Amino acid sequence: MADSNPELLIFEHLGGKGVSVERLLQRGRVAMPLCLAQRAESGGVLEALSEVEVNLVSDEVIAEVHDDFMGDPTPTDVITFHHGEIFISVDTAEREGGAYGHSVEKETLLYLIHGLLHLNGHEDKLPGQREAMTEIQERILEQVWLER
């Protein structure tokens, strides 16, 4: 187990499209201990990681990752690898955020929290799991978003 929160690293591969890496990093650091406190019964790897690397990418790039590792060539919102790497589609955050009344930054933060919860053992494949994870991530999102 790591003695402290994993270091959060964010790499933006889009030329600054709609997301402030500094603000996302700041909010992600606030979200980290909240996500660590929500460990799933099945366990997770988050507390054992020394760092979590977040890559902000386009729909095109995340679709390639989705295809390469999951055999699905369509874009998705977030992909989490248990070695501590998270890919987030800012294109999807921009598109989906509008549907939920979120800015692209808030939706991207939601995807970051979602990825951290996956690293902490949460799953969302089954309806009950999805509902529980959604409730946790929405609660954390609102807490972090208000702490500007």
In tens, the pLDDT along 89-128 reads 999 999 999 888 899 999 999 999 999 999 999 998 888 8
pLDDT confidence of 25, banded at 50, 70, 90? very high
Residue 78: name the closest of 16, 70, 86 by CA: 86
pLDDT bracket for residue 146 (50, 70, 90):
confident
Average per-residue pLDDT for the chain: 92
The C-alpha angle with vertex 23 and arms to 117 and 78, in degrees rounded to 5, equals 35
What would be the CATH architecture of the domain defined by 7-146?
3-Layer(aba) Sandwich (3.40)
Rounded to whole angstroms, the Cα distance separating 119 from 24 reads 18
Secondary structure (3-state) at 54: strand
pLDDT score recorded for residue 1: 44
- What's this model's pTM, rounded to 2 decimal places? 0.94
Mean pLDDT, rounded, for 27-55: 94
Would you say 68 and 83 are in contact if contact means Cβ atoms under 8 Å apart?
Answer: no
Q: Do residues 94 and 105 lie in contact, with contact meaning Cβ atoms separated by under 8 Å? A: no
